[in-house]
């Protein structure tokens, strides 16, 4: 571990002295490198002995999260710089990044909202309307938990563990996972429950959290409509959909320094390059990732 830190410190000095990079640039290089080091650590591999195929898996994970090609390119550039340094200083004899290519910037990736844009969308919701607080709670949960729209519409009241600050989510293939939920989202849900209690609930939907005016579960189309409407009211020109909130959740966590594995666990992802389910991360580790890196936990 000491040697590991020693090499990173020498690389930092190399960036500062030989490459003459600014302090911000050096920090950015080291932050992006840390993402790879966390990944190879989870794979129980030595970063000085990883192969090109390992790096392909790592980059595939970035694509799977919907990380913008520019951000992918920046991360790959930082990784290439590190391995060039290791080669120059004799720590390795072959550069595993030599054939690693950055994504084409023109490739289509879902839009990502800034934290300010998400706040603008929430702030333009008319809380005087019957569905206002429901919509505010709904969008806050989408962003705070990174849910798929189908997971949001099927979320049950009994799935929300208010005191423990977790929600139980049923994802693809009926696979369940526990996802930390921010105190902001919990507060919005509690506020919504006053309005929910005024709705006449249809049989079979008694436990459904987000209800339509008719007392049934919201449809995917209804959620799309709400999001499109709020984006327009907020003056956002991006093509915004429920999935935009999911990608924004992942991007903001990753850019904040969260563990790639933890993000994939929270999103309910499996590897897109193998059928192996990602390593289990315990609930407290997930909570720490959210509290430390998610913008909503810093308000």
Instruction: Yes or no: say if 169 and 265 are a contact pair by the CB < 8 Å rule.
Output: no
Torsion angles phi and psi, residue 31, rounded to 5: -65, -45
Cα diameter, the chain: 72
Instruction: Yes or no: say if 231 and 121 are a contact pair by the CB < 8 Å rule.
Output: yes
CA distances from 295 to 35, 164, 167 (A): 18, 19, 18
pLDDT of residue 258: 76
Q: What are the beta bridge partners of residue 179?
A: 167
Instruction: Give counts: helices (H), strands (E), the chain.
Output: 12, 3
Clarify whether 246 is annotated catalytic.
Answer: yes
- Average pLDDT, integer, range 254-274: 67
Clarify whether 247 is annotated catalytic.
Answer: no
Given the residues 172, 175, 220, 283, select the one marked as catalytic: 172
d(CA 167, CA 185): 11
d(CA 121, CA 125): 7
Model confidence pTM above 0.75: no
Inter-axis angle of helices 69-88 and 52-64, nearest 10: 160
Clarify whether 187 is annotated catalytic.
Answer: no
CATH 1.10.150.130 positions along the chain are 2-88
d(CA 189, CA 72): 35
Average pLDDT, the chain: 83
More confident residue, 235 or 17: 235
Given the residues 35, 136, 196, 246, select the one marked as catalytic: 246
pLDDT of residue 273: 32
- Average pLDDT, integer, range 39-47: 84
pLDDT of residue 197: 93
Written out in words, the top-level CATH class of the domain with range 115-298 is mainly alpha
Nearest alpha-carbon partner for 145 in 284, 289, 260:
289
| Minimum mean pLDDT range among 88-97, 145-154, 187-196, 283-292 | 283-292
- Give CA angle at 213 (207, 215), nearest 5°: 30
Size of the chain in residues = 299
SS3 (DSSP) at 213: coil
Instruction: Yes or no: say if 138 and 226 are a contact pair by the CB < 8 Å rule.
Output: yes
Given the residues 12, 63, 243, 288, select the one marked as catalytic: 243
If phi > 0 it is left, if psi is from -120 to 50 it is alpha, else beta; for residue 174 that is left
pLDDT above 70: residue 203 = yes
Given the residues 278, 287, 293, 296, select the one marked as catalytic: 278
**Could you read off the pLDDT of 238-259 as tens digits, one per residue?**
889 888 898 888 888 877 777 7
pLDDT of residue 271: 42
Given the residues 134, 196, 247, 269, select the one marked as catalytic: 269
Clarify whether 214 is annotated catalytic.
Answer: no
**Could you read off the pLDDT of 129-143 as tens digits, one per residue?**
989 999 999 999 999
pLDDT above 50: residue 54 = yes
Within 173-271, strands assigned E span 176-180
d(CA 98, CA 94): 9
CATH 1.10.443.10 positions along the chain are 115-298
pLDDT of residue 56: 85
Given the residues 68, 136, 148, 294, select the one marked as catalytic: 148
Nearest alpha-carbon partner for 254 in 81, 58, 119:
58
pLDDT of residue 116: 93
Clarify whether 213 is annotated catalytic.
Answer: no
**In CATH, 2-88 is 1.10.150.130:** yes
pLDDT of residue 284: 60
pLDDT of residue 187: 95
Clarify whether 196 is annotated catalytic.
Answer: no
pLDDT of residue 249: 87
């Amino acid at each position: 571990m000491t040697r590991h830190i020693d090499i990173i410190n020498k690389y930092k000095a190399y960036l500062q002295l030989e490459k003459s990079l600014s302090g911000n640039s050096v920090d950015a290089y080291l932050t992006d490198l840390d993402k790879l080091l966390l990944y190879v650590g989870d794979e129980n591999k030595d970063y000085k002995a990883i192969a090109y195929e390992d790096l392909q898996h790592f980059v595939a994970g970035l694509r799977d999260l919907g990380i913008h090609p520019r951000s992918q390119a920046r991360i790959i550039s930082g990784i290439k710089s590190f391995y060039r340094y290791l080669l120059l200083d004799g720590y390795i004899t072959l550069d595993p990044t030599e054939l690693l290519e950055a994504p084409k910037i023109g490739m289509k990736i879902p839009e990502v909202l800034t934290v300010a844009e998400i706040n603008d969308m929430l702030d333009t919701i008319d809380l005087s309307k019957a569905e206002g607080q429901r919509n505010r709670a709904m969008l806050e949960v989408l962003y705070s938990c990174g849910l798929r729209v189908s997971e949001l519409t099927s979320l049950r009241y009994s799935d929300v563990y208010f005191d423990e600050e977790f929600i139980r989510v049923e994802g693809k293939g009926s696979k369940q996972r526990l996802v930390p939920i921010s105190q902001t989202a919990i507060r919005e849900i509690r506020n919504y429950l006053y309005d929910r209690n005024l709705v006449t609930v249809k049989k079979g939907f008694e436990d459904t959290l987000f209800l339509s005016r008719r007392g049934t579960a919201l449809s995917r189309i209804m959620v799309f409509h709400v999001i499109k409407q709020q984006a327009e009211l907020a003056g956002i020109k991006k093509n915004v959909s429920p999935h935009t909130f999911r990608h924004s959740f992942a991007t903001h966590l990753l850019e904040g320094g969260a563990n790639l594995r933890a993000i994939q666990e929270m999103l309910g992802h499996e590897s897109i390059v193998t059928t192996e389910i990602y390593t289990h991360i315990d609930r407290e580790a997930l909570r720490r990732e959210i509290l430390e890196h998610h913008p909503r936990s810093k308000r």
